Amino acid sequence: LGVSERQLRRRCQVAFGYGPKTLARVLRMRRALGWARAGVPGAEVAVRAGYADQAHLSREVRGLAGVPLSALVAVRGPVS
């Protein structure tokens, strides 16, 4: 990217409100949510998105969104 680690962190903080690691977690969760909404089974969603297992996916979603994956899947609308 041509910027230092500190500069990347600062730019992410300004643009997104959190650092690059959290951004990566959010983007991975969004991909998983898209597959889950498309009807892909939970275990396969976890594998496709790069989680260790379905339990890891569940913990990550609850940690980031504060609700279980099923609650997010039930809400129709764009993945944002």
Q: What is the pLDDT of residues 1-52, one digit of tens each?
A: 789 999 999 999 999 999 999 999 999 999 999 999 999 999 999 999 999 9
Q: What is the pTM of this model?
A: 0.83
What does the CA dihedral 62, 65, 73, 52 come to, rounded to 10 degrees?
-50
Q: Quick one: which H or E segment has residue 19?
A: none
List, in order of start, the domains of the chain with CATH numbers.
Answer: 23-80 (1.10.10)
Nearest residue to 32 via CA among 50, 52, 20, 53: 50
Alpha-carbon distances, residue 36 vs 39, 54, 60, 78, 80 (angstroms): 5, 12, 14, 13, 14
